[in-house]
Amino acid sequence: EAGVTQFPSHSVIEKGQTVTLRCDPISGHDNLYWYRRVMGKEIKFLLHFVKESKQDESGMPNNRFLAERTGGTYSTLKVQPAELEDSGVYFCASSLRLAGQQFFGPGTRLTVL
Amino acid sequence: AQSVTQLDSQVPVFEEAPVELRCNYSSSVSVYLFWYVQYPNQGLQLLLKYLSGSTLVKGINGFEAEFNKSQTSFHLRKPSVHISDTAEYFCAVSLMNRDDKIIFGKGTRLHILP
């Protein structure tokens, strides 16, 4: 069974540009989560989808970040326009049920120059 | 609010020596406790978890952790490390019976010395 996959693995963009990160959860997992680790800091929760609905988006830093999960399968996280402080590693996780074990992807390393 | 403190950002240890990675947490409500590991160029992998019951939890790869409620600690231990244990280790909590978000510590890099 395939695990959680994320694309791209690395992205380098300039300040002001737009970047879209993609996450494919484990098949059948209704719950999908986004986390972010800014350099030198802890991994922080961004938001949680249950199927296509946003269950909790309390961790989204500002309105430059837009997450979608159309059809309840894969999810995208768009940053527009990107700022220097958005650099970091973006992790996606999925779980079969609420409060179930979250399985993490390898992350996308975003560098904003 | 909940928080997780990992006291050591880096821990060097000789191969086959024992290791302890320290973790303390702060929460006004009951939490579940986790240790995750991130090997180089890989995603986060669950090492072990404490939900309830016995305070000594055994995980994969010979690791174990002990939940100490009075000291609000959840230290990770291994009696003899191997070079393959080189990784970053994250202590984390989530709220019991509430939202699903995981709250992580800053991580501890374990360096195994030959």
pLDDT tens-place string over residues B38-55: 998 888 999 999 988 889
3-class DSSP state of B87:
strand
pLDDT by residue for chain A (113 residues), tens only, comes to: 689 999 999 999 999 999 999 999 999 999 999 999 998 889 999 999 999 999 999 999 999 999 999 888 999 999 999 999 999 999 999 998 777 788 999 999 999 99
**pLDDT of residue B75 exceeding 70:** yes
By CA distance, what is A100's nearest residue in B?
A: B100
pLDDT-derived band of residue B99, with 50, 70 and 90 as boundaries? low
Q: Do A31 and B41 touch (CB under 8 A)?
A: no
pLDDT-derived band of residue B98, with 50, 70 and 90 as boundaries? low
Q: What is the pLDDT of residue A40?
A: 80
Average pLDDT over residues B59-80: 95
Q: What is the pLDDT of residue B43?
A: 86
Q: What is the pLDDT of residues A2-13, one digit of tens each?
A: 899 999 999 999
Which residues lie closer than 8 Å to B40 by C-beta, 6 or more apart? B86, B87
**SS3 track for A27-75:** CCCCEEEEEEECCCCCEEEEEEEECCEEEECCCCCCCCEEEECHHHCCE
Question: Å from B75 to nearest chain A CA?
Answer: 18
Neighbours of A92 (CB within 10 A): 28
Residue to test with chain A: of B31, B38, B46, B100, most A Cβ within 10 A: B100
